[in-house]
Structure 1
Amino acid sequence: MTQGIKDKAVVITGASTGAADPAGQARRCFEIIQTALEKAGAKLSHVVRTRILLTSIEDWEKVAAVHGEFFRDIRPVNTIMQVSRYIDPEWLVEIETDAVIDD
Structure 2
Amino acid sequence: MSQPTHTRIRMFNTKDTYPNQTLDNDLCQAVRAGNTVYVRGQVGTDFDGKLVGLGDPRAQAEQAMKNLKQLLEEAGSDLSHIVKTTTYLTDVRYREPVYQEVGKWLKGVFPISTGLVVTALGQPQWLMEIDVIAVIPEGWTRSQN
Rg comparison, structure with higher value: 2
Runs of 4+ in 1 over 3 A off after TM superposition: none
SS in 2 for 1:20: coil
SS in 2 for 1:62: helix
CA drift of 1:77 comes to: 0.9
Say whether 1:65 aligns with 2:100.
Answer: yes
> Matches of 2:121 and 2:93 in 1, distance apart?
17
Select which of 57, 71, 82 maps to 1:47.
Answer: 82
Render the CA deviation track for 1:35-83: whole Å, top value 9, x for unaligned: 0000011011110011110100111011110111001111111111111
Unaligned ranges ≥5, structure 1: none
TM-score by length of 2: 0.67
Say whether 1:14 aligns with 2:42.
Answer: yes
- Matched AA of 1:45: S
CA drift of 1:102 comes to: 2.8
> Matches of 1:42 and 1:32 in 2, distance apart?
13
Higher relative contact order at CA 8 Å, sep ≥6: structure 1 or structure 2?
A: 1
TM-score by length of 1: 0.93
CA drift of 1:11 comes to: 0.8
> Matches of 1:97 and 1:30 in 2, distance apart?
10
Unaligned ranges ≥5, structure 2: 1-26, 45-50, 139-145
Q: Percent identity?
A: 30
Which structure dedicates a bigger proportion of its chain to helix? 1
